[in-house]
Structure formats: C-alpha cells, structure tokens
Amino acid sequence: MNGLLVLAAYMAALNPMRTRLGIPEHSNGRARMGLLGAGTAIGAVGLVALAALARSLLSALEISPETFRIAAGLVLVIIAAWMLFVPVPADEPVPDGAGAALWPVAYPRVISPETIALALTTGASDGVSSASLGLVAASAALVALGPIRRGPLGARILASGGRVFAVVLALVGIWLALQGVREV
C-alpha cells in the first residue's frame, strides 16, 4: 500500500466523524478532551504494538500476510456496511474517572475489529512505520473533532461524514481483498 492509501485506510477505519459520536461528552455537548486524548493515545499505541507484532503473530498462526489481506478486506467491508446502516455508535456506559479513557474510548472506539484487522495487515505487509503514520494522522483527526459541539446539526454532519468514511472503508476493504487474491 502506498502512503496515501494507508492514510485513507486508517482514516476510514478509525472513522473520526462517526467515532466522535461515541465519545463521552460534557453537558455542553463537547467531548471530554482529556478522556478523548488519553484514550485515543492508548488505543493508538496498542494498535502500533499490534502492527509491530503482526508478522510474528501471523507466522505463529500460520497465515501468510497475503492471505490475511483477504480476511482484513472482508472485515473492513462488513464493518463498512454496519457503519452505513448504523451511523451513530451505540451509547456505552461510562465509568467514573480516568478509566473512561480505556472504556469506551480506547476500546471499543479506537481499538475495534476494523482497526485491528488493518493494523495487522499493514504491519505485516508494509511495516510498523507505515501503520504508525496512518494511526497518528487518524488519531489527530479524531482528537481535532473533540471540541465540536454535538447539537442536532453537529450530530447530523458527523453522521453524514461517518457514512462517507464508511464508503471509503468499503472500497479499501475490496481493494485489500483483491490484492490478497492477486499477490503471490
């Protein structure tokens, strides 16, 4: 995958606009920035670690990186379809205190089936630096959306943008699956 495609893939998988709708907020409708920043960082570090271990992990599972691309592509397409039909993530119970950075921000908002699949496939095929760059850019975009107030209009814009990212995710998934079939 070239740099632009990796960037598009991580943006689509993390889907900052849809994910923003699932971030704990203050009563004024703005995201709790401390939780968002910390949770996104924790999630991103976890995914980078996964990307770094991807080759060893796939090797231990006796899966070639080329074949895993097919699986990753399939996961991305399924999740993209889910995002299209369910544009707003389900409300999750939020614990008191800093623990909310872990749940529900780091998991399941940042670390999710689609980001796990993408981290594994890009880590195994393109290396950890490529995955890191994609994750940093997508994480920065998510954090940048935090101050947006979630009023009726804001929510609609975020949901619509999330659908656009979902379409991109589906296209990336199809591309990945086809690559997995065509590669040696």
Partner 1 sequence: MRRRIALHLSVLIVGAAVIRMGVVPAEVCPPVTALDVSTSIEAATAWLVEGMDADGTYLYGYDRDEGRINDGYNYARHGGVTMSLYQAYEVTGDPGLLVAADRGLAHALNRIVEHGGWMGWQPRGDIPLGANGLLLAALSIRRRATGDNIHDELMRGIGRFLVSQQQPDGSILAYWDVRAEEPRNEFGPFATGEAAWALALLDRQMPGEGWGEAAGLTLDYMGEDRNRVEGYATSLPDHWAAYTVGDLRPDLLTTSRVEYARRLAGYFGIRLRFEAQRRGHGINLWLRWYPGPPAGVGTAGEGIGALHRLSVEEPRLADLTAAIEDRLVCTAGFMVRRQVTVDGVAASSLESGAWFYRGYTQMDDQQHVLSTLLAALPVLEAMEEVR
List contacts with partner 1 (CB under 8 A): 61-64, 66-68, 70-71, 74-75, 92-93, 95, 103, 107-108, 113, 116, 180-184
Listed residue (48, 63, 65) closest to 116, CA to CA: 48
| Tokens (6 digits) for 136 | 């940093």
Nearer to partner 1, 40 or 112 (CB): 112
Nearer to partner 1, 141 or 169 (CB): 169
Nearest distance from residue 184's CB to partner 1, in Å?
4
Nearest distance from residue 61's CB to partner 1, in Å?
7
What is the spatial distance between Cα 110 and Cα 126, in angstroms, rounded to a whole number? 21
Nearest distance from residue 156's CB to partner 1, in Å?
26
Nearest distance from residue 127's CB to partner 1, in Å?
15
What is the spatial distance between Cα 54 and Cα 7, in angstroms, rounded to a whole number? 18
Contact 21, 159 (CB under 8 A): yes
Task: State the helix-helix crossing angle for 128-144 and 113-126, rounded to 10 degrees.
Answer: 150
Nearer to partner 1, 134 or 180 (CB): 180
Contact 7, 118 (CB under 8 A): no
Nearer to partner 1, 153 or 184 (CB): 184
